[in-house]
Chain A
Amino acid sequence: MKNEEVVRIFMENSAKVAARPIRVNGIIHMNEVLGEILANESAIYCPGISELEKAATIDTERRVDAYTDATVAVEESVAGIAETGSVVVTSANGRAVQASLLPAHHVAILSADNIFMSLDEFFAGLGKTPPTNITLITGPSRTADIELTLTIGVHGPEKVSILVV
Chain B
Amino acid sequence: MKRGSGQSINFRDNARRAIENTTLRRAMRHATESFRQKRSDAIVGIPFEEWREQASELRKTVIGDIKGYVDEFAVNATKRGAIVHRLKTAGDARDLIGAILKDNGAKNIVKSKSMVTEEIHLNKHLESLGLRVIETDLGEYIIQIAGETPSHIIVPAIHKSREQIGRLFCEKLSCDFSDDPAVLTNTARGILRQEFLTADAAISGANCYIADTGSVVLFTNEGNGRMVTTLPPLHIVVTSIEKALPSIENLPLLMRLLPRSATGQTLTSYLSIITGARMPGAATGAKQLHIVLLDNGRSEIANGPYREILKCIKCGACMNVCPVYGMIGGHAYDSTYPGPMGVILSTLLNGIENAHPLLDATTLCGACAEACPVKVPLLKLLYELREMRVDKGYNKTAESLGMAGFGMAAKNAHIFQAGQTSARALWPLAGFLSPLTVNRLPKPTNRTFRRRFS
Contacts and interface: CB of A to CB of B under 8 A. Distances in A.
Contacts of A16: 266
B435 interface: no
B276 A148 contact: no
Given A101-B223, A119-B252, A130-B215, A147 B270 contact: no
Contacts of A130: 213, 215, 248, 273, 275
Given A131-B275, A132-B284, A143-B222, A156 B270 contact: yes
A151 interface: yes
A109 B150 CA distance: 39
* Chain B interface bracket (under 10, 10 to 19, 20 to 34, 35 or more): 35 or more
B34 interface: yes
Most chain-B Cβ atoms within 10 A of its Cβ — which of A119, A124, A144?
Answer: A144
Interface in B192-239: 192-193, 196-197, 212-213, 215, 221-224, 226-227, 229-231
Contacts of B185: 143, 146, 151, 153-154
A119 B221 CA distance: 19
A154 B225 CA distance: 12
A11 to B, nearest CB: 15
Nearest to B222: A154
A147 B230 contact: no
A142 B264 CA distance: 14
A50 interface: no
A141 B269 contact: yes
A138 interface: yes
B273 A148 contact: no
B267 A86 contact: yes
A85 B384 CA distance: 43
Contacts of A1: none
A155 interface: yes
A120 B275 CA distance: 19
Interface of B: 27, 30-31, 34-35, 76, 80, 136-139, 142, 155-158, 160-162, 165, 181-182, 184-185, 188-189, 192-193, 196-197, 212-213, 215, 221-224, 226-227, 229-231, 248-249, 251-252, 255-256, 263, 266-279, 281-285
Given A84-B255, A135-B271, 13 more contacts: A13-B266, A16-B266, A68-B197, A98-B231, A130-B213, A133-B230, A145-B139, A147-B27, A148-B31, A154-B185, A155-B192, A155-B193, A156-B269
12 contacts: A101-B230, A123-B252, A131-B275, A132-B276, A136-B271, A138-B270, A141-B269, A144-B263, A146-B138, A147-B181, A155-B227, A156-B222
Interface of A: 13, 16-17, 68, 84-86, 91, 94-98, 101, 118-120, 123-124, 126, 128-149, 151, 153-157
